[in-house]
Structures are given as C-alpha cells and as structure tokens.
Structure 1
C-alpha cells in the first residue's frame, strides 16, 4: 500500500489512555508519525514508540513559537504536508480515502491547508447532530503558519496555541471526519475547559488581542465571537438549531456543558471588570 506523503504530528502530555490507538490508526497510512511530547509522567512515550511512532521531546520556553508552530518548523521538515492529531483522535476510514484521492492522483495539491470536521464523542457517545467543530488540521508548512497574538501573559493555554486557526490561503474543507474519541473521564473535559475559560476571559479584558484572534477563526467562529448572550445562544444552537436533542442524553449533556463553559467565560470576565460585551 502506498503511504500518504504526509507527516502526522501528535502533540501530547499524559495521553497514555489514548495514544496507542491514535498511533495505530495512522502508522500504516502516512510517511511518518511523530509524537511531540511535553514531559509526560505516564507511559505515553513508551506506548507511542511500541506502536512505531517517533517520539520527540518538547519543552516550552514561554515565548513564541508555541507547540504547533514549533512542530511546523522542526518536525520532519523534509515533508511539506503535516497533519495534526490530538492524542485521542483518529482519522476515519472515509478521511483516509479522501486524502488518497487528493494526494495520490499525481496532480499538484492547490490548497495550502484543509479544514477537517470532527466526529465528536461526549460522555461515551458519538454526537451526530449537536457538535459542529472544524479543525484546520492539515497544513502545507511552506504556506501556512499560526498567528502570534500578544497573549503570552494570559492564563489557561500555556504551551498550546489558543482557540484560533492557522493562517493559510487558499483553504479547502474536506467532507470526512477526524474522530475525537476521548477515553478519559468526563471530569477531564471540565478541567480543560476551566483552563480554556481563563484564557477566553482574559481576552475580554484585552480587546486588541481579542480582535487579533477573531480574524484567525473560521467564519462561524468570527460570527459567534461577536455575538451577545453566548451561554443561551450556545445552548440554542447546539440543542435546537443543530438538533442536538436527537443525540439523546449525550446531546443534552453536551449542550449544557458548552453553555456552562460560555457562562464561565462571561462570569470570569465580569469579575475581572471586562467590558459588557463579554456576556
């Protein structure tokens, strides 16, 4: 089987519960698989190496570039195309087939990046309706880069880039999905999003940086970025407009969790004295 001319980069820290399945899902399909690990204290590195991945250590120095841009600049730079996967993500069979049609047909690849929808799991169930996140996960490193907003003093994100997309042009959206199946308990979702809400609330206090980040989001993200009453809007969008109620209890749980996340951001921003539009 001809492998895809793409390097898979998997940024990790303590992903022992998920990493073996992620590496196994890509090892036979891509030219290289590299786990970029930030001092994991569990068996992440050993498990990744056992499945055939190269493991590269990473330690953030507190400045730019952050972790993903560092990967673009340092991980297997002999291969222009790089696919980012989280430690709990796997490409769907349909995505592998779609990538083969694009990269193995003998023609030059015109887009500089590809947006890929997530197949998202929450509370042990695959959401079919209420979840609509798209990641700009596949990049030509010679034509794409992550922005460097002035947020190094912000809490919450640390070594990872924030919730914005890498800059590239043109960008094409794929149909098939990356499957985001987190095997960790749901409390870890709330722990992560508590940190993320610290970063989002900090942005509300720094509107210039907030605007820098807004333009590096998808069109949908830019519209939501400006919207008022985000907790209510988030619930209505996920549960009603996107018919999350068809996902049963998991759809309700997810819509409530995202609404709570938006409420956290607004509450933290008000506590810090951010402008009224933070609601």
Structure 2
C-alpha cells in the first residue's frame, strides 16, 4: 500500500471528489495551505488527516510536507485537488511499488477542459513525478511550479490521471495564471541570463522529461514565442483536431506566454520591487512612472 497526499488551497469545489477518488488508499493526508473557503470543513467529513501549513512556494510546500508529515507507508503519491486517482492507476501503482529497481515513477496527465480530454493541444504525454519513495525524492522551485530531485532510478507509469484544469471557471484560471506568469517571468529572465540549452538532452535525452525540459529552455530564446507556441500546438501537434476546446486551450496558452514576455520586459525596464505578489505594479510606484516609459513599444 502507499499513502496519498492531497495539496489544497481554496479547493471547496474539487476537494470532495478528489478525496473520494483517493480513498482507495488507507492513508490519505490533506495538506492545506490555510484555505479561506470551506475546503477544510468539507475534507473533515472524510476519514482523512488534515494538516495546515502556510504556503511559501510549490517546491518548499512539497519538501516541508515530505519531511514533517508522517505517513503509514514508505511510498507516497501526490494529488492536486483538481486531479483524480483512478482504480486503474491505483492498481498499477500497487504493482509498481513492489519493484526494488526504481525509487519513483512519473505519471502522465489527461487535461480535461470544456468537458473533454484535449489530448493533442496539451502536448500529451506530459509527465509529473507522482509516485515515489518518501525518503528518495524532494522538490525545488522552478518558475511558478516545482521540479523534483531524485536520489535513484525512476520510471514511467502507463496509466494516466485526469486533471480538471478549468473546474473553477475561466475567471479563476486567468487570475491564477496572472500570478503564475510573474514567477515564470523571473525564471525566464534567470534562464536567459545564466542558463543554456542542453542540445544533448534535446536530441538524445534518455526520457521524455529530459527532452521536454531542454525544449523549454530552447523555446525561451526563440523570437515571437507566443505566436510560435500557438502554431506549434494548434497545427503541428494537431490541436485543431481537438475542436472548439482545442482552439480555446491553444489561445489561452498563447495569451499566457505573451503575459510572461510582458512581465519579463517589466522586470528588465522597471525599478526593482515594482511588482507586487500578484504581478501588478504597486500603487506607490505607479505614481512615479511616466506612462510613456512603461509602453512595450518604446
């Protein structure tokens, strides 16, 4: 058996369905980032443990969770509240943890958007580290999200998990990605100044994860990146075959990419600390900036 962590913050819409899918395990822990809605109230109706810890970053939250919250089992699985465990995936996980060769497994997400799985538009399969030995994996921050550090060999699960990325509505998605774009802009600027493209991983990487990360490092350096991303996703990957949902998804991702570029420009040209935590200009800075100076066209 393996334990399941569920990470939450204001997830009253998703938390019940997520917990119900996770109860295939006999040890489920909800790790809540001090939600202001009914997340904890709803979660407390189920036979799960609930631990609250103030959120600092995705990488730090996961590492704190692994180091400070005891589990009944050596192996753990991480679920986000808008994701689901499936019986098929659970069964494969039970079989996978019997292996002595690997310390962790990547699982691919099925992005559910506008009532359907948009397989082509989302660059499927996109793998995330989900199942692993608790003492062999930790996380660091990368942009708005995290990257795993693994002490041992890893492999890949065949079964996938559904990710209901827009379950809280379009307004919530835009609000969330506005915040994400600030962290992504900082990481983009850092990569452009100090990072480099690993052509070895891009062309001959041992896994899909290595190749995808090298491709992202390359894409950061391409001109007209938002437009190229739309063309790549919609035509080359076949997003046009995902119908209306595919077009909407590719358009939103293009908007997100452009928002990141605008914030990279802000970081380069505006005074330090001029962006607040939501990626907006702070009020005291606005009063001292000539509108002509912040136009990307100048």
Task: Identify the TM-score tier after normalising by the shorter chain.
Answer: 0.7 to 0.9
Name 2:168's counterpart in structure 1: 184
Larger radius of gyration: 2
Determine if the alignment matches structure 1 residue 201 to structure 2 residue 194: no
Deviation per residue, 1:184-216 (Å, 9 max, x gap) = 11221111111111011112333489749x99x
Contact 1:136 1:166 in 2 (8 A): no
Determine if the alignment matches structure 1 residue 94 to structure 2 residue 78: no
Counterpart-to-counterpart distance in 2, 1:109 and 1:39: 37
Deviation per residue, 1:86-116 (Å, 9 max, x gap) = 111102333123223323xxx4342121111
2:139 to 139, 146, 152: 146
Counterpart-to-counterpart distance in 1, 2:74 and 2:244: 43
User: TM-score, normalised on structure 2?
Assistant: 0.76
Name 1:81's counterpart in structure 2: 75
Runs of 4+ in structure 1 deviating by more than 6 angstroms, as ranges, are none
Query: Gaps spanning 5+ residues in structure 1: where?
Result: 152-156, 275-279
Counterpart-to-counterpart distance in 2, 1:50 and 1:91: 19
Determine if the alignment matches structure 1 residue 40 to structure 2 residue 24: no
Counterpart-to-counterpart distance in 2, 1:17 and 1:78: 28
1:266 to 261, 276, 283: 261
Determine if the alignment matches structure 1 residue 11 to structure 2 residue 4: no
- Residue-pair matches, total: 253
Q: 1:148 to 1:135 in 2, by over 3 A?
A: closer
Matches within 5 A, 1:1-279: 5-27=1-23, 29-60=24-55, 66-103=60-97, 107-131=98-122, 132=124, 133-147=126-140, 157=144, 162-182=145-165, 183-207=167-191, 211=195, 218-227=210-219, 228-229=222-223, 230-273=225-268
Q: Compute the RMSD of aligned alpha carbons.
A: 2.6
Q: 1:124 to 1:163 in 2, by over 3 A?
A: farther
Deviation per residue, 1:200-248 (Å, 9 max, x gap) = 1112333489749x99x64302222222143133223322222111210
Counterpart-to-counterpart distance in 1, 2:181 and 2:86: 30
CA-CA distance at 1:23 after TM superposition: 0.4
Q: 1:49 to 1:8 in 2, by over 3 A?
A: same
User: TM-score, normalised on structure 1?
Assistant: 0.81
Q: 1:247 to 1:271 in 2, by over 3 A?
A: same
Name 1:277's counterpart in structure 2: none
